Amino acid sequence: MDEFATEEQQVEAIKRFWRENGLAIAVGVVLGIGGLYGWRYYNDTQIAEKEAASTAYETVVTTLSAENTAQAEAFVDNNQDGYSVLTALQLAKFAVDKNDLESAEKHLRHVATHASDASFKSIANIRIARIQTAKGEHDAALATLALVTLESFVAQVEDIKGDIYTSLGQFEQAKTAYTESLQADGDNRLVQMKLDNLAVAANG
């Protein structure tokens, strides 16, 4: 599913930020709370938990591969933090590469449910919608896309809507969706090609 390429770049940027700043952010939050309730208590609990989670995540990532996902699966099943979200995204990618769409959707739902970052939720829902579209679940895909409200994802959402409407033979709706996608991202040649081909499809 080549449509994942742009989203993958977004994911990598967020993951990079999390790796570089995740623990520092956690410490900053704890320090802020510590000013109100006492640093020592939180030093013994919150920081220790964050460090343990980070260590567990690093262990999982070290062993994770497309052929070796058991430990990562268990990690995701037993955690609901940001590290489990990153792991679930990788597991979903492996599943898509294997054309195991059911497993991919399961992992993406974990991301959509447990991610605290709105961008992660949006990316997960967009990918779920792509999977639902591939399975012919058009109404479900449109409902999933309605959950994506961040302005930065309009182009991708409308592109998928255009694909859905085209497959349903609803060419006017498809034209509107592709046009809105191009308005959000005018450099997308693939969407422009889809829009140009609508006239042929409508007369076919």
Task: Output the CA–CA distances (angstroms, integers) from residue 138 to 39, 108, 155, 202, in the order listed.
Answer: 52, 18, 18, 19
- Asked if residue 27 has pLDDT above 50, the reply is no
CA distance 17 to 6: 17
Q: If we measure between CA atoms, which residue out of 113, 109, 107, 72 comes closest to residue 92?
A: 107
> 105 and 10, same structural domain?
yes
Torsion 164-167-168-170 (CA) sign: positive
3-state secondary structure 76-141: HHCCCCHHHHHHHHHHHHHHHHCCCHHHHHHHHHHHHHHCCCHHHHHHHHHHHHHHHHHCCCHHHH
Question: 175 near 169, Cβ under 8 Å?
Answer: no
45: its two tokens = 């609990």
pLDDT per residue as tens digits for the range 66-92: 888 888 899 899 888 888 898 899 999
Q: DSSP string spanning 13-61?
A: HHHHHHHHHHHHHHHHHHHHHHHHH-HHHHHHHHHHHHHHHHHHHHHHH
* Residue 104 burial class via C-beta count within 10 angstroms: exposed 0-12, middle 13-18, buried 19 and up: buried
User: How many structural domains comprise the chain?
Assistant: 2
> 200 and 104, same structural domain?
no
3: its two tokens = 């449509």
pLDDT per residue as tens digits for the range 32-50: 544 445 545 445 555 555 5
pLDDT per residue as tens digits for the range 115-150: 999 999 999 999 999 999 999 999 999 999 999 999
> 180 and 80, same structural domain?
no
Look up the domain containing 165 and give its range: 150-204
> 65 and 105, same structural domain?
yes
> 123 and 96, same structural domain?
yes
> 139 and 65, same structural domain?
yes
> 105 and 15, same structural domain?
yes
pLDDT per residue as tens digits for the range 150-189: 999 999 999 999 999 999 999 999 999 999 999 998 789 9
DSSP, res 152: G
Question: 65 near 89, Cβ under 8 Å?
Answer: no
> 182 and 89, same structural domain?
no
> 128 and 113, same structural domain?
yes
